[in-house]
Amino acid sequence: MSATKTIKKIALKKNEIISDYALAVESREDSLIGRKEVFMGKAKFGIFGDGKEVAQIAKAKFFQNGDWRSGYYRDQTFMMAIGQLTSQQFFAQLYAHTDVDAEPASAGRMMNGHFGTRSLNSKGEWRTLTDMKNSSSDISCTAGQMPRLVGLGWASKLYRENPALHDFKDFSINGNEVAFGTIGNASTSEGHFWEAMNAAGVLQIPMVMSIWDDHYGISVPQEYHTTKESISEVLTGLQRTEDKKGFEIFRVNGWDYPALLKTYEKAIKIAREEHVPCLVHVVEVTQPQGHSTSGSHERYKSKERLDWEKAHDCILKMREWILESELSTADELDALEKEAKNKAKKARDNSWKSYTSEIKEDLNQALELIGKAALSSDNNKALQQIKNDLKSALNPFKADIARAVRKSFRYLTSTESEEKSRLISWYKEKFDKYRDEYSSHLYSESDQAALKVDGVPATYTDESKLVDGREVVQACFDALFDRDPRVIAFGEDVGRIGDVNQGFAGLQEKYGEVRISDTGIRETTIIGQGIGAALRGLRPIAEIQYLDYLLYAIQTLSDDLATLQYRMKGGQKAPLIVRTRGHRLEGVWHSGSPMGMIINAIRGMHVLVPRNMTQAAGFYNTLMDADDPAIVIESLNGYRLKEKMPENIGEFKVPLGVPDILRDGQDITLVTYGSMCRIVMEAAQQLSEIGINAEVIDVQTLLPFDRNQVILESVKKTNRVAFIDEDVPGGASAFMMQNVLERDGGYFHLDSKPITITSQEHRPAYGTDGDYFSKPSVEDVFERVYQLMHEAAPEQFKKLY
């Protein structure tokens, strides 16, 4: 079986072909068993890669060390074929095993079918990515993997074309790495797919995009999804020609093993050597178990379609081809199939045993402690019932244990005993453990975490120049690019003209188009470029031209970038800096300040809101020393305001989560950020003229928010507080209020009700008057604060009107 035999111009050892077949059978058995495990209640949900085994094995043969995958939740066979997933790990993820060694893709945090390789060691430091086969961490969102895929491929182009990066061998070997994408045919209807495909064609990146086409999207047939019912036919306009760059497009049957091998060999060679993106449309794919464990495809597929799928099952067709080619006998294949299925069953059993052993240990301890606590309690009967209910639970979860223990505390309130104390101590210890298992790593926990970067004050001399604010950020970026060849910047109008506000003015000419580049109008894939590049060790600054354009990319930021460290429990990081500008301008579409939406959608990223360009520069310096992703929102109306140029422009750092007291006062604390700082400071000056002494605090960052309780200390002094911003009512102002009054206990120190001063509920109207009557003005702040002081001291502060 070890001799090489040429089959239809494909030279493979027979034992390699047979091994491929065995893997396909094992993976299929994993899927079949997985569905049963869900129905037995041992797992919550199942979505599997059955029907795609042979195509994924063929593709995997040309996946090399250093390459990257950005796929979706049906790629289990591919992950097994590249040696990054075992059947036991497959079941560990199905059961949500929280041991990162048992389930390295997510430590039980993501449902089955979501894969990722660990780019970082236990300290959060980079491993040698060119020595391993890499998979970016999956997300469930339809087509959500596409923006990141662009960045993964683009990084190879940067590593190849920038000589200064050629020594970074841990991340790339001359840009030879290919980015492998996968998607289902129905998901190609999503805008993310179309934007990413266009971006890849423009950028000419080494990307191989596979589309698994099983003719359906859950219950909806192809005719409702795709024009002409063929995505490759629709995309023929992307095909490159002799004089115009574009894609190479391939179409191949998903059950044709030799044709799949030839197709992928050719496509990947083109991508790797020529940096030309390729599309592989894999048609006639089947889905034997339907979409997921939530339903049955027999409900919506005709008998004729179901019969066709059985006849064209890729494993059946591969078996037929093996027998026709005389590579094995039916008896040998029967024995091999039996062995592969037994291997899958053994993996399930081992995985379940490993998963439940820890739970059983916690269960037995909880039962013993509840039982002992019951003996010394007047509520012995109720506690024994809780114990018995827990003991009789079928396949108990940690939640069942925690629920029982917490319910026990209700019946022990009047009991003081050593047994009760032991139960409480045990629960607290377990709660800390469970917190680590389910709630750690929302942000970086490495030594390079942004919260661990110390502040460095900006320094000035008598000769420090007074310049436009834009010149401060431009000088900061110049210093960053000069210091680190990994730093890149890109976005609409960033390159040739140096961005619309000149923050990158002259830098493309100085550092080259490879490092500072323009993009098309495509915010989602601008962010995707940044994510992929950051995953591959670069330090990208992705610019979204205006704050309201962030809405185009909020799904990618929220579902992909912000959750990355969390969903892999620190296994990957993408320290992307998103630069934008906003708050005040003119009109409905350029002056919104949707901060509440942003801070609630992208937990896992830092949100920095500098009041001027010097503070913004300090944040950029801080972030470049850190490994967290962040968004920096510069004040749109501050670029031409004068600021002193720091002498240490590339070194000073503004720490995160540390508010800045802009003005001391004793009567009321005014909390704000960004462009509103100037409005509030002017109002505070006018209030001082009538005897109201306001303390003004710039929070500087919303995520994190006031780590040292600076605002609380101010409220203790003034006993009054107002939260002021340009968001709609209930937006970021409510967020700030909750943190100060509830989290920090500021309510206890108030002598007057807390207030918020915000924009109107609608977007701002156009023009100077539209701005004045839509957003908080100096007069609004003055009058609301005055009214609060009038309520407190009506004789001193008479009613205004």
Return d(Cα 240, Cα 249) in angstroms, integer: 9
- Please provide the distance, in angstroms rounded to a whole number, between the alpha carbons at the two ends of the chain: 97
| Sequence-distant (≥ 6) Cβ neighbours of residue 538 within 8 angstroms | 155, 158, 171, 486, 487, 488
Return d(Cα 352, Cα 359) in angstroms, integer: 11
Strand partners, 577: 541, 630
Helix intervals (H) in 73-190? 76-81, 87-95, 145-161
CB 648 within 8 A of CB 744: no
What single letter denotes the amino acid at residue 123?
Answer: K
| Sequence-distant (≥ 6) Cβ neighbours of residue 547 within 8 angstroms | 580, 581, 582, 583, 592, 593, 594, 633, 636
Buried b (16+ CB within 10 A) or exposed e, 687-699: beeeebebbbbbb
DSSP H/E element including 189: none
The β-bridge relationship of strands 487-491 and 539-543 is parallel
Q: Which two tokens stand for residue 538?
A: 């670069």
* Residue 590 known to be catalytic: yes
User: How many residues comprise the chain?
Assistant: 801
Q: Which two tokens stand for residue 303?
A: 């008998």
Sign of CA dihedral 115, 139, 290, 59: negative
Residue in 609, 507, 604 with CA at minimum distance from that of residue 564 = 604
Q: Which two tokens stand for residue 296?
A: 């049955």
CB 639 within 8 A of CB 470: yes
| Integer CA distances (angstroms), 565 to 142, 437, 477, in order | 20, 13, 27
What single letter denotes the amino acid at residue 407?
Answer: K
Annotated catalytic residue within 281, 583, 590, 749: 590
Phi, psi at residue 91, to the nearest 5°? -75, -35
| Sequence-distant (≥ 6) Cβ neighbours of residue 509 within 8 angstroms | none
Return d(Cα 26, Cα 468) in angstroms, integer: 65
Phi, psi at residue 80, to the nearest 5°? -70, -40
* Strand, helix or coil for residue 662: strand
* Active-site amino acid positions: 590
